[in-house]
Amino acid sequence: MSDAFDDDYWRERLTDEQFYVCRQKGTEPAFTGKYTDTTVDGVYQCVCCGSALFDSESKFHSGCGWPSFTAPTHAQAVQEHLDLSHGMRRTEITCTHCGAHLGHVFNDGPHPTGLRYCINSIALTLDADT
């Protein structure tokens, strides 16, 4: 899907902030995202394409300033890419379906995975359980 749509397509569908984070690999300021401290049950979806990315059961409060998860909904939900920007070596996470930048994954998370998927709130929508 990501190759089929250009910047104009995404600019028409996203806010400026969503476009900056999701399409230009930006980052929202720490502790400003609406899902950082959310404890509502549901599925977190890609704001660009609606794909299911993370379940509230894997969400935890890491104190890093962004929503954190131990695992995606399934292994194919996200893709990993080497990110050498800003003088760091990190693993970027993108939506498999549309290529949206979501955040990064680190190996300092809790059990059972030991991973911390650190995700920008602005890249997500929450489909809350009712």
* CATH code of the domain containing 29: 2.170.150.20
Banded model confidence at residue 130, pLDDT cuts 50, 70, 90: low
DSSP 52-66: EEEEGGGEE--SSSS
Q: Is 95 among the residues known to form the active site?
A: no
Q: What is the mean pLDDT of residues 87-113?
A: 96
pTM confidence score = 0.93
What domain range is 39 assigned to?
Answer: 2-128
pLDDT tens, residue by residue, 25-45: 999 999 999 999 999 999 999
Catalytic residue among 22, 95, 98, 118: 118
Banded model confidence at residue 129, pLDDT cuts 50, 70, 90: confident
pLDDT at 60 over 80: yes
Structural domains in the chain (count): 1
